[in-house]
Amino acid sequence: MQRSCLAIVLAAGESTRMRSSVSKVLHPIAGRPMIAHVMDSLAAAGVTDAVLVVGRDGAAVAKAAQRTDMRIETVEQTERLGTGHAVLAAADIIARGYDDLLVVFGDTPLVTPAPLKEALEAIAAGSDVATIGFESANPGGYGRLIVEGGELIAIREAKDASEAERAITFCNGGLMAVDGRKALDLLRRISNKNAKGEYYLTDLVELARAAGGRAVAVRATEEELGGCNTRAELAFLEQLWQARRRQALMLSGVSMVAPETVFLAFDTQIAPDVLIEPNVVFGPGVRIERDAVIHAFSHLEGAHVESGASVGPYARLRPGAHLAENAKVGNFCEIKQAEIGAGAKVSHLSYIGDAFVGAETNIGAGTITCNYDGVNKHVTRIGAHAFIGSNTALVAPVAVGDGALVASGSVITEDVAADAVAFGRARQEVKPGRAPILRARYQAMKAERQKK
């Protein structure tokens, strides 16, 4: 029979050291609130019930944490009296009865499902408490996990540790699983008789052992248990997340020329055999198919690039951009809410928005779809195998048919039929011999101004 588990997510931080006007767990990692990353790992560990212990911005935190595959409730922690007190804010929900209790922090976005599962497995195997710890080369002020004979004896705060205990490199990560049948009794035994007058969750280890129970420690990496209290730590977590994701993509078959300069979003999808050049930024909602090339200094968000397509350098794909197979969007082009057909080319210095461009069509340099009239957006439709000359303005709503040619420098305000040629520019007029006369006039005007 599958065991029931309640995850308690501590998310009541005040963001004091973040110097922030919003709860720290709402700050993004890879374009997504850090608490959402934590909820992902809980779901992957098999958790289906969770309670958020919130403080400021409780409604916003609950919204950021919501999932369709998990029942999530919210309780408020009105006082800050330690981690044990925070967990007890959910006492009424714990009292419903769960096999396992899993306590995590909302500001550890790099935690993976593996140590969470291992801690729960330890409870299922008969332990009362399973603490998640990590090895550190510089344990410094971390609490130490004292393990003897395979059991966790105590968690010793650094300031209270002996010289021998300070030499221990196995450190407390703060995350913990507890036997759900004993959790409330143990939690209510936690005392605040300490220097800070707070209720520490770490006391559960010795309380469980004093009652004849067993405590163990499981291992995670130091990286995945890193919390966030300052903007500097937020930037460091972002750096670690990016490095982890880049590594996973490269191992899956994606080529990155300078991976440290590529920035990914939480949901970026890149297929094998894609080449990504330096200094590329992916916002949310991007999917890149096989054999595509993303050239340097490009920015993509909400875009789909199909197999063999080419983007950039210095291109911007905004939400709704869709490049079909072997399409090209070149340097200094911006594409927004537009379909670029198979083999079509928008090679340079163009803006294509709210548009449909047919297969094998060529869009000349400096072409603009004039899609906005100051109030409403309008659509431009360009057929297959068409040619749009350089420096053309297509004033939407307008359509250009298959195989049509539009002359350079045109302003197109009416539909162009298939296979037609359209000129939308003033007729050129040449005045032989007039240039010297005009130069003399301009020089005289300049001399007159200089006298004044």
At 128-183, the pLDDT tens digits run: 999 999 999 888 888 899 999 999 999 988 888 888 888 999 999 999 999 999 99
pLDDT for the residue 279: 98
298: annotated binding-site residue? no
Least confident of 75-84, 257-266, 272-281: 75-84
| Averaged pLDDT, 75-84 | 87
Per-residue pLDDT band at 425 (split at 50, 70, 90): confident
Residue 17 above 90 pLDDT?
A: no
359: tokens are 């297969």
| Averaged pLDDT, 364-368 | 98
Least confident of 7-16, 334-343, 383-392, 408-417: 7-16
318: annotated binding-site residue? yes
188: annotated binding-site residue? no
291: annotated binding-site residue? no
Per-residue pLDDT band at 207 (split at 50, 70, 90): very high
| Averaged pLDDT, 65-82 | 91
Structural domains of the chain, ranges and CATH numbers in brackets: 5-220 (3.90.550.10), 231-422 (2.160.10.10)
Select from 385, 392, 426 the least CA-distant residue to 407: 392
Residue 79 above 90 pLDDT?
A: no
| Averaged pLDDT, 101-110 | 96
Cis peptide before 284 (omega within 30 of 0): no
pLDDT for the residue 413: 96
Q: Is 305 helix (H, G, I), strand (E, B) or coil?
A: strand
Strand-pair partners of 15:
none
Give burial (CB, 10 Å; 0-12/13-18/19+) of 373: exposed
> What is the C-alpha R_g of the chain?
31
For tokens 């063999």, what's the residue? 308
428: annotated binding-site residue? no
DSSP label of 372: B
Per-residue pLDDT band at 117 (split at 50, 70, 90): very high
| Averaged pLDDT, 97-108 | 96
Bridge-based pairing state of the strands 144-148 and 151-156 = antiparallel
183: annotated binding-site residue? no
422: tokens are 């359209």
- In angstroms, the CA 216 to CA 207 distance is 13
Per-residue pLDDT band at 418 (split at 50, 70, 90): very high
172: annotated binding-site residue? yes
- In angstroms, the CA 178 to CA 416 distance is 72
200: annotated binding-site residue? no
Mean pLDDT, the chain, as a whole number? 94
| Averaged pLDDT, 19-38 | 94
pLDDT for the residue 133: 95
| Averaged pLDDT, 244-264 | 98
Least confident of 161-170, 187-196, 416-425: 187-196
For residue 224, which phi and psi values (nearest 5 degrees)? Answer: -80, -15
Select from 245, 345, 256 the least CA-distant residue to 294: 256
More confident residue, 237 or 429: 237
Amino acid at the residue 9: V
pLDDT for the residue 13: 80
- In angstroms, the CA 422 to CA 392 distance is 11
Q: pLDDT for 437-448, tens place per residue?
A: 989 999 999 998
Angle formed by the axes of helices 34-44 and 113-124, nearest 10°: 50
Active site residues: 348
pLDDT for the residue 415: 97
